Copies of this chain bind each other. A is one copy, B any other.
């Protein structure tokens, strides 16, 4: 760290008597200049103002008289061009270093940017040895490469764009629900529900030395990381009518797939007084479209990076999703479509069996490569809470999945069985009547028809950005054999 304007005398107690008036001007300018973010500078209409901008150097281009820098502070993908006298150049002014620059915002002669910063002083705040830094100047590193540096990858263009989009998409989803009168509920991460013994659960206990010898469990019962906030949201839907949660959920799946994480984010909504899957599908479709339109218009540059460089041509796949109504087919129709296709599936499609990834892909393609809702699944395939359609001979439950191009299952939802007698029966058959006594009570006291759904947030980002691997859609990826940082 050093003051880079070489001619500035060393800072000392007798500073003010020793230094030139030019230096004093500069010192004052740094002290009184308005701190500004790069994004604000780029949007600045009025030039001529003295500003102070801090950030990291993304490129250094020394010329005979002038020095050109690109300065990024994370507020936007586009850097701010900085122009300085060559005299301000120093050895430690390198790609990746942190700088504190004061100067004047001026209209740029270059039409790629409105303004540029004419620097009066450049201070290198933190050096960066370009030999050791894993990212190289002006190189577009593949996502697989930057994934190896979980503590540094946010300093690349692609990953910082993704994280800005993720932040904005989060805000969009929260606005969507708030504007529609939903109450946000922080459903618990630690839960004693083992969710119908679904397996793939993480269990939670204090580290060794914190264990209480009298009680094998910290919570007196086995406790797990939540796989869904649904049951807790059902509690809340019985008081607020419309609720949602947006938080981490967990699966102990021994998978390294491009679509699975051990810790991922889920948006879940639960709506009381809902009697039809149509109502649920409308919320899912509206949410998808509203969030995506918000992101596309608020993060134009960041989104463009993905649609140009990471997944070229992807925008042409997403736009029709926003402009057309999503398709709806029944599970039974889906099986018929699959059966009558000429494709050789690894798993042969059969009524009563789960749809496999290959089937989902085929159905999405069959429907013109746009999202498709599949409704009314076989009753036996669905968990105890799915509402019995009481149909026959093909007995179905009012459940729905949303399949989207590239990703497969994006959302899953159902109407919930609100009829006390039917629910009691099903839970008894599974031997879960006592475990879910509290859940049955929700049906005893002012029960209402209701339903809800969950949307995988990282898969949503994969879908709209064309991200092949889910590990690139989350700040810190956790999956089997990997929990870095």
Which A residues have a C-beta under 8 Å from some C-beta of B?
Answer: 37, 39, 54-57, 73-75, 96-98, 100, 125-129, 132-133, 150-152, 154-155, 160, 163-164, 166-167, 170-171, 174, 178, 181, 183-193, 199-210, 212, 215, 218-225, 231-232, 235-236, 238-241, 247-248, 250, 252, 254, 262-263, 265, 272-273, 418, 438-439, 441-449, 474-476, 478, 480-485
Contacts and interface: CB of A to CB of B under 8 A. Distances in A.
A68 to B, nearest CB: 19
A236 B185 contact: no
Contact of A74 (B54, B183, B215, B252): B183
Contacts of A181: 37, 39, 75
Contacts of A445: 96, 126, 128-129, 132-133, 152, 155
Contacts of A166: 184, 186
B126 A447 contact: yes
Contact of A241 (B37, B439, B480): B37
A445 B136 CA distance: 13
A100 B273 contact: yes
Nearest to A134: B445
A128 B238 CA distance: 12
A190 B262 contact: yes
B151 A164 contact: no
- What's the number of copies of this chain in the assembled complex? 2
Given A166-B186, A204-B202, A262 B218 contact: yes
Contacts of A204: 202-204, 225
A239 B154 contact: yes
Nearest to A236: B154
26 contacts: A54-B241, A54-B272, A75-B181, A97-B446, A125-B447, A128-B446, A133-B445, A150-B438, A151-B235, A154-B239, A160-B239, A166-B186, A170-B184, A189-B248, A189-B263, A190-B225, A190-B250, A190-B483, A202-B218, A203-B206, A206-B252, A210-B252, A215-B481, A218-B262, A219-B483, A247-B248
A171 B170 CA distance: 11
A239 B150 CA distance: 12
Contact of A446 (B98, B150, B223, B418): B98
Contacts of A171: 174, 178, 184
Given A37-B181, A215-B481, A232 B98 contact: no
Contacts of A220: 481-483
Contacts of A208: 203
Contacts of A39: 181
Contact of A207 (B199, B207, B239): B199
A98 B272 CA distance: 10
Contacts of A190: 202, 225, 250, 262-263, 478, 483
A221 B480 CA distance: 10
A478 B75 contact: no
Nearest to A240: B74
Contacts of A272: 54
B482 A193 contact: no
A202 B210 CA distance: 9
A125 B449 contact: yes
Contact of A441 (B152, B215, B221): B152
Given A73-B241, A167-B184, A185-B475, A129 B263 contact: no
A192 B484 contact: yes
B210 A206 contact: no
A186 B248 contact: yes
A79 to B, nearest CB: 13
A30 B254 CA distance: 51
B444 A129 contact: yes
A164 to B, nearest CB: 6
Contacts of A187: 475-476
A212 to B, nearest CB: 7
